[in-house]
Structure 1
Amino acid sequence: MITTGIANIPRLMGELRTRAKALGFDAFGVTDAAARPDLPQKLDAAIAEGWMGEMDWMEATADRRRHPQALWPDARSIIVLGMNYGPDTDPMATLEAASCGTISVYARNRDYHDIIKGRLKELAGLLARGSGADVKVFVDTAPLMEKPLAEAAGIGWQGKHSVVVSRTFGSWLFLGAIVTTAQLPADDPHAESCGSCRRCLDICPTDAFPAPFRLDARKCLSYLNIEHKGAIPPQFRKPMGNRIYGCDDCLAVCPWNKFASQSREAKLQARADLEAPRLCDLAALDDAAFRAHFAGSPIKRIGHARFLRNVLIAIGNSGDAALIPSAEALLGHEDAVVRGAAVWALGQLDHDRALWLREGMLRDETDIEVRSEWALEPA
């Protein structure tokens, strides 16, 4: 075990906290790497229930994910950091603008992995130089369970919607972690403070919470329009509304968010063009334009076809006849998932037009799922 000298620990921790704030981190906490022995049981239970849906990588990495020291046996302490990304306006307001898309607040800026990782590395370098210890940084992409570790580090607590809630920043924190072989003084864990509130559970459009503090990803709109690769299941299309990337409903209604507006010094600013983009403009993007428009954005990672699928579901829910040409233009798209979504969207907006086109389109359609969409059953 590598430790810093007792006399140096307070000074080093002070330097780390000061530098973290200068780098734009709003929350800083430390926990022992062995602080959450309950993590293996929680993870195994979620996998056994099938709540992970198609996220096979969760089970594939379960052995390393179950505990930080399974990922890195020499780990002794974990510094968890949070960066405020709270919105300036109500993120649910765009749900009423049916001809526009609603993008999750976290994706309205540059990819947070890119924003945070470089800053974490700088802070980790300071820790390594000051302690002589080894360090590793993690930002969501590695098998480290940041949310329960943030709770253990006193950053906040995992709310009933499973997201970390902070008394200072509500539900709007990006998380990153520095894992180290140094033994650092740990902060007190944060007690769960949701009380009897269940706003996040009640607002969910798809009833994705089988119980408080439990999320069934298979019903979660964020999972469905980001992680899910195939067609959006029919029962979730209407509830999806105009949410073309993610879903913030359960985060946005958290009453602790009222404090986030008081702490905006280093808050990330959203791209204006991603706050309420027009569906007709998004549907017109070809692959090259999609990549250019969303360069540096997490949206780019889902790919053009999956993005068009989401936009088409929103078009079908819009009730806007002016978007009929946008849906019709994608009926012949090379990707079957896009074609199927276009059929559904057109059927929602102009059932008679879809019926008139059906025979001709079916003549050349070979994909069984797209052919089933042409059945044009009422929603």
Structure 2
Amino acid sequence: MDPSELKRRIQGWAQELGFTEARVADIDLSDYERGFREWLSAGHGASMSFLERHGLLRFRPDELVPGTRRVLMVSRDYLPPESRSPQQVLGNPALAYVSRYSLGRDYHKLVRKRLAQLARRISDEVGPFTYRAFCDSAPVYETGLAERAGLGWKGKHSLVLNRSGGSWFFLGALFLDLDLPVDEPVADHCGTCTACIDVCPTGAIVADGVVDARRCISYLTIEADEDIPESLRPLMGNRVYGCDDCQLVCPWNRFARYTQDDDFQPRHDLDATELVTLFRWDEATFLARTEGSAIRRIGWRRWRRNLAVALGNIPPQADAAGEALAALTQELGEAGDQVDRHIRWAIDRLSGDRSRGSSG
């Protein structure tokens, strides 16, 4: 089959499987290697040692999957139309803010499954070929591949932005040994706007497109095993899993599309649940309520650590402060030393006791 015709058909099949866009990138990501090395050297990767362990493999698709000639990059919208307004939740310190991408089912599995279905459809047409499907699941530089494929450009917050869809979408990559025509990159359209940099609660966006994970709430609440630095805890507010502030203020997200996928709709009311309710989950409840969710990967103890910080950020004079203080006091000693250190910090905040300073 003519490669251009095959590409056209693949894009049609991708749309039938629920992908918003499907575009083709070459595998030359060499221009990104220097910036990544500098980012790591500056310590911006925090404790994510796997980034160094994999080295530059993420920029060399044909080394990760020998024989790869092209990468089909797809996007899939995830912003749920039925969820509570993010601004309303963030404005109520008694509620838990959970990043919108994680309200539904685990996107890693869902996107990879659909990409595998797409690969089988291609195989039915052209015969056996080499492929591998990825979605934030291997050393793959999806942002660069998305740029190369023309799905969008890397915004100042480091996420991919699309002129007709903003940034509320997942990326998936299908490595192929097929020689398909490539798409053209698009220009950067952030201009002089610095809204995402200005709004970041912890000042984690340290330069255009450069995020220091050590200050990033998404890293602190999801990836970090260590204690959350005391200096950053008050800045986290009620964000207990991830952070969307940079997306919420981005002008391009006025064009964002709501997902039509039932799998990405909120589950168990996690779009607006009281912090105390979540904090009182025991481990069995946590595992049951997060089954099939990306949230489960952080584990119950890290979940409680995050919630303890958010509870400590409830204003002491607020109606919810008394119940929060009681819950924290009751749960001391139930989830290990690290959680207890965060609980004691929160108790000090709510009780107005500053005498222990930063002793934790």
The corresponding residue for 1:255 is 251
The residue identity in structure 2 corresponding to 1:150 is A
Alignment of 1:177-188 (within 5 A): 177-188=173-184
Q: 1:265: Cα distance to partner?
A: 4.4
Of 115, 119, 133, 1:120 maps to: 115
CA distance in 2, matches of 1:331, 1:179: 49
Report runs of 4+ in structure 1 exceeding 4 Å deviation: 263-267, 376-379
The residue identity in structure 1 corresponding to 2:69 is R
SS in 2 for 1:234: coil
Alignment of 1:349-368 (within 5 A): 349-351=350-352
- CA RMSD between the two structures: 1.9
SS in 1 for 2:25: strand
Distance 1:256-1:272 versus aligned 2 partners, 3 A rule: farther
Structure 2, unaligned runs of 5 or more: 316-320
CA contact 2:301–2:335 (8 Å) conserved in 1: no
Distance 1:212-1:203 versus aligned 2 partners, 3 A rule: same
Of 37, 43, 53, 2:46 maps to: 53
Rg larger in structure: 1
Alignment of 1:2-81 (within 5 A): 5=1, 7=2, 9-34=3-28, 36-81=29-74
SS in 1 for 2:173: strand
Alignment of 1:334-349 (within 5 A): 334-349=335-350
Alignment of 1:98-137 (within 5 A): 98-132=93-127, 133-137=129-133
CA contact 1:29–1:154 (8 Å) conserved in 2: yes
Aligned length: 351
Alignment of 1:300-315 (within 5 A): 300-315=296-311
CA distance in 2, matches of 1:112, 1:138: 11
The residue identity in structure 2 corresponding to 1:315 is L
User: What TM-score, normalized to structure 1?
Assistant: 0.88
CA distance in 1, matches of 2:208, 2:88: 26
Q: 1:91: Cα distance to partner?
A: 2.0
2:163 is equivalent to residue 167 of structure 1: yes
Alignment of 1:217-256 (within 5 A): 217-256=213-252
CA distance in 2, matches of 1:325, 1:64: 50
Distance 1:335-1:190 versus aligned 2 partners, 3 A rule: same
The residue identity in structure 2 corresponding to 1:208 is A
CA distance in 1, matches of 2:186, 2:179: 20
CA distance in 1, matches of 2:219, 2:197: 16
The residue identity in structure 1 corresponding to 2:217 is L
SS in 2 for 1:175: strand
CA contact 2:147–2:154 (8 Å) conserved in 1: yes
The corresponding residue for 2:318 is none
User: What TM-score, normalized to structure 2?
Assistant: 0.93
Q: 1:120: Cα distance to partner?
A: 0.6
CA distance in 2, matches of 1:92, 1:144: 33
The corresponding residue for 1:366 is none
The corresponding residue for 2:265 is 269
The corresponding residue for 1:359 is none
